[in-house]
Amino acid sequence: MLANGIRNLVVKMHPKDNVLVALTDLAKGENISFNEESFLLQDAIKAKHKFYTNNLIAGDEVVMYGVLVGKAQHTVAKGSLMTTENIKHAADPYTYRHIDFKWQAPDISKYQHKTFNGYKRTDGRVGTANYWLFVPTVFCENRNMDVIREALQNELGYAVTDKYIQYTHQLLQAYQRGENIDSVEVQLNAGGNTNRIFKNVDGIKFLNHQGGCGGTRQDAATLSALLAAYANHPNVGGVTVLSLGCQNLQTQDLLADIKKQNPQFDKPLFIFEQQQSVSEEQLVANAIKKTFEGLIEINKLQRTPAPLSDLCLGVKCGGSDGFSGVSANPAVGYTSDLLVALGAKVLLAEFPELCGAEQNLVDRCTTEVAAKKFISLMRVYDAQAHSVGSGFHMNPSPGNIKDGLITDAIKSAGAAKKGGTSPVVDVLDYTESATQAGLNLVCTPGNDVEATTGKAAAGATLILFTTGLGTPTGNPVCPVIKVATNTILAKKMHDIIDIDCGPIISGEKTIEEMGEDILDYCIKAASGEIIPKAVQLNQDDFIPWKRGVSL
């Protein structure tokens, strides 16, 4: 974004666009020159926001990223700020067309012979981590899960709460001495138990949830498939299942789903049913003992070199802003293209945030079956939202809108950039696993945690999560790497951000250069050489989707 060594003030995302994006704050009355045309600003334009490049009347189409993103609601002057009052969401219809899609793959010579050090599983997949997983078949077991979590994580070196315990202790001491607690100073970044007993076990994870009983049988079946996918995940080395006994999701159903997904499943798996135990104490003690034995076993596994084609990358955005589609998402999209060209899998989900980008994705599908499956899933999902008085157009949050994502189509067209430009090889419904190398579309909500939960179920072994406003979201079994759209956020929330794409906005780096930097980081994270912030903080968010309306 440097022109003759001078940083541009605005950017146009596609030649067809009739809006420009401000890269810095612009004053009302300022004359902005772009591509030999001058624009007198009718309003102050904050960085990340857009202004119109021509006069509009009610009903005129507004185009960004080369696609319809809204329609003018009344007469708007050239140089005016885009607002929720002068534009409303609009998107072009989409259908299957016999398009001979051609893809220009990026140069991968730099990466062709690179490897990462991962955990090879007997089913041929390679994990980027080695976790022990606790799975409850019903919410009734959450309390027992919490007790076991405290016992195992604290004693075996996986807890991250020591610094807060120490801080609370110092506050208590100050209070008991009658001192002003404002005088208490503590280094919150200090402390934490790093004395991990099992060096080849990256963590002990717990899938607490609110399902398994009381809902519909369909909810229980979906949850079973989801939990089975997590048990089968290449980042999981062993599993402990806690069951009450009488719940809708029966243990045999979960085991059947595990075997259905992987007939050769051979990981250590221990099952404990509370209604068959003498006491809760016995249940918890036996679960801890058997899990300890399992940890000894999976600790014998070692990281070994694997080709980059064995990676499965999920791409996600959350807390998005007006720079998401300008910097971080296109950079992650270039990373996605590099990995697809290398033979890896890439997962693009968040179907409510593909509204307006559908035709491009349909045209990129390699088969008619995949294209029509995507169309069907999108239309059914959107119809469900409309049936309760909502719709994909209501997806942008107040934070999105405040920072420049005025319509869902604008948000979606920018969000779709994370998937790069490669062909779509497959379309997966929720809980289906990715089996084909290349770009896969995965049906999930846009909700941050529901989406990352679904991506991990599809097999993602790393997730790149772009954000412009900041979010602490993580996942229990899949390392989540936070990518900031702007340097201000990266500095302000340095404790949760891993990568800063602000250099794209400032013109210091190109999208391609940033995309390569991101891939370099992914290779190190996949090898355990770098621990993403979400993993360090045990941000293990897990929310199953009940297939209801969630945007």
Q: pLDDT by residue (tens digit) across 314-336?
A: 999 999 999 999 999 999 999 99
Q: Are 439 and 336 in contact (CB under 8 A)?
A: yes
pLDDT value at residue 253 = 97
Task: Return the higher-pLDDT residue of 389 and 221.
Answer: 221
Residue 2 pLDDT exceeds 70: no
CA distance 71 to 74: 9
Exposure string (b/e) for 67-104, b if CB count within 10 Å is 16 or more?
bbbbbbbeebebbbbbeeebbebbbeebeeeeeeeeee
pLDDT in tens, 516-546: 999 999 999 999 999 999 999 999 999 999 8
Q: What is the pLDDT of residue 390?
A: 81
Q: Encode pLDDT of 145-160 as tens digits.
A: 999 999 999 899 898 7
Give, in order, the Cα–Cα distances in Å from 449 to each of 395, 429, 473, 545.
15, 17, 7, 9
What phi, psi does 27 have (nearest 5°)? -90, 150
What is the arithmetic mean of pLDDT over 453-477? 97
Alpha-carbon gap, residue 65 to 18, rounded angstroms? 10
Domains of the chain: 2-89 (2.30.130.110), 131-158+193-300 (3.40.50), 308-536 (3.40.50)
SS3 content of the chain, % helix, strand, coil (to 5): 35, 20, 45
Looking at residue 189, its pLDDT comes to 53
CA-nearest of 3, 58, 59 to 32 is 3
pLDDT at site 395: 72
Res. 194 pLDDT band, cuts 50 70 90: low
CA–CA separation, 321 and 411 (whole Å)? 8
E strands of 299-342, at which residues? 304-307, 312-317
Task: Examine the pLDDT at 137 and tell me if it is beyond 50.
Answer: yes
Q: What's the whole-number average pLDDT of the chain? A: 93
Q: What is the predicted pLDDT for the residue at 190?
A: 43
Q: What is the rounded average pLDDT of the residues 255-266?
A: 96
103-128 average pLDDT score: 97
pLDDT in tens, 486-503: 999 999 999 999 999 999
Q: Which residues pair with 304 in a beta bridge?
A: 118
Query: What is the mean pLDDT of the segment spanning 119-139?
Result: 97
- Which one, of 463, 374, 467, 356, lies nearest residue 413 by Cα? 356
- Kindly report, residue by residue over 390-443, the tens digit of the pLDDT: 877 777 788 888 888 899 899 999 999 999 999 999 999 999 999 999 999 999
Instruction: Tell me what percent of the residues of the chain surpass a pLDDT of 90.
Output: 85
Say what the pLDDT of residue 7 is: 59
Q: What is the pLDDT of residues 23-58, one digit of tens each?
A: 999 999 999 999 989 999 999 999 999 999 999 999
Structure tokens at 242: 């806690």
* 355 vs 28, residue with greater confidence: 28
Give the residue, 547 or 128, on which the prediction is more confident: 128
- At 8, phi and psi to the nearest 5? -70, 150
- Rounded Cα distance, 254 and 241, in Å: 10
Distance CA 366, CA 228 (A): 29
Say if residue 287's pLDDT is above 50: yes
Q: What's the confidence (pLDDT) of residue 162?
A: 72
Predicted pLDDT of residue 550: 74
Query: Could you give the percent of the chain with pLDDT greater than 70?
Result: 96
- pLDDT band at 369; cut points 50, 70, 90: very high
Predicted pLDDT of residue 187: 62
Residue 363 CB coordination number (10 Å): 17
| Statement: residue 4 has pLDDT above 60 | no
pLDDT of residue 166: 82
Residue 188: pLDDT band (50, 70, 90) is low
